[in-house]
A and B are shown apart, each in its own frame.
Chain A
Amino acid sequence: MSKYRAVFIEEATEHLEEMSRGLLELERDPGRAEAIDLVFRMAHSIKGMAASLGYDPITEVAHRLEDRMQGVRAAGRVDAADLALFFKGLEGLEAMLASVRDGADAPAADPWLVHALSAPLGPPKKKALSPR
């Protein structure tokens, strides 16, 4: 599967750019369904691609993002604390993809990020964005 690595890096990079675009749209309009769908689909797609190449940490973070955005889909809008968390998730994926691009394995997923993304959706949590 290593021959697919370059294709993965190229397509995952595009997907993360799309995810960023979606999150910026949600910053302006937290209930924008198209942007919620876009972020959900990008996370889903990255999850499937990363799993195919055995990049388990990327798969895990993308999976958590996808699940959380599924909750946002049901709620119909994203709150400010969750939006900040989604941006953290995006940053995490970008950092892991950068490692892969540099020829390394994907580094382990940030346990705080995985934990925060797995927490139930709810009202803003002041401590949730103080990772380290």
Chain B
Amino acid sequence: MARILVADDASFMRQIIREILESDGHEIVAEASDGVQAVEAWKKHQPDLVTMDIVMPRRSGIDAVRAIMAIDSTARIVMCSALGQETLVTEALQAGARDFIVKPFKPDAVLATLRGALEKGDA
């Protein structure tokens, strides 16, 4: 099971993701409510995977992906996107994110995407 960092500025969304991931046996090592916290939490915990919201205060999710990838190019990051964010998702994938999940989250789809991202990282 993976150690995961959850980054989203809405505590509501963090709770939903936490429940989905914990139901599959994953451990949430930290939560971050903005991009600055996400990078700091990544440095501190070096998680197996990050779920990263795109739109966050102080530092966007895409900027946080760039910062983390600059530290460790093998970092596994999955973006959390919403309807109408295709351009930003593409930018995040180009910055190094492995994949993305779309709100509203469907537990099976979220877990399948995360498993895929974790397996890709092991290859």
Residue numbers of A with Cβ under 8 A of B are 1, 4, 7-8, 11, 15, 37, 40-41, 44-45, 47-49, 51-54, 63, 66-67
Contacts and interface: CB of A to CB of B under 8 A. Distances in A.
Majority SS at the chain B contact face:
loop
Contacts of B15: 4, 7
Contacts of B84: 63, 66-67
Interface of B: 9-13, 15-16, 55-57, 82-84, 103-105
Contacts of A45: 9-10, 13, 55
A51 B103 contact: yes
Sort A-B residue pairs by CB-CB distance and give the 5 closest, nearest first: A52-B104, A48-B103, A51-B104, A44-B55, A11-B12
A8 B12 contact: yes
B22 to A, nearest CB: 15
A45 B57 CA distance: 11
Nearest to B103: A48
B83 A49 contact: no
B82 A44 contact: yes
A47 B105 CA distance: 13
Contacts of B83: 47, 51, 63
Which residue among A8, A37, A45, A49 has the maximum number of chain B CB atoms within 10 Å of its CB?
A: A45
A66 B15 CA distance: 23
A51 B11 contact: no
Contact of B12 (A4, A40, A47, A63): A4
Contacts of A4: 12, 15-16
12 contacts: A1-B16, A4-B15, A7-B11, A11-B10, A41-B9, A41-B57, A45-B13, A47-B82, A49-B12, A51-B104, A52-B16, A63-B84
Given A63-B83, A63-B84, A67-B84, A48 B57 contact: no
